[in-house]
Amino acid sequence: MHEVSLANALIELVREQAVAAKASRVTRLVLEIGTLSHVDAHALRFAVDVAARGGPAEGAAVDILEPEGTAYCLDCETSVAIAARGALCPHCGGAKLLVQGGDEMRLKEMEVV
């Protein structure tokens, strides 16, 4: 139920921003959910729809961007793409990887009227 609490937090943020922007309605949300964040995009989309009911973002289009995981390998000193946390370096097989991206969970953009 990770997605439900994330969706509730996102919609709360959207509500605050809509009020601050004096917007009557939110028409589109763009979310950035990294592939390493352990969030299921389909489940999140559904949870956002449910969380938005009765508020300014009800019925808003939801676009979800899923940036791939990137890490820096300390062994071969290369930036590499990784599919999961704890993955080994695809170049040298090393395990000393520092995650650099792909674990974000954020509201990237919103469109209001």
Site residues, Zn ion (CB under 5 A): 73, 75-76, 89, 91-92, 94
> Measured from the CB atom, is 30 or 92 closer to Zn ion?
92
The least CB distance from residue 38 to Zn ion, in Å, is 24
Taken in order 55, 58, 26, 41, the sign of the CA dihedral is positive
Query: Can you tell me the distance from the alpha carbon of 47 to that of 49, in angstroms, rounded to the nearest whole number?
Result: 5
Query: Can you tell me the distance from the alpha carbon of 56 to that of 19, in angstroms, rounded to the nearest whole number?
Result: 9
The least CB distance from residue 46 to Zn ion, in Å, is 38
> Measured from the CB atom, is 82 or 110 closer to Zn ion?
82
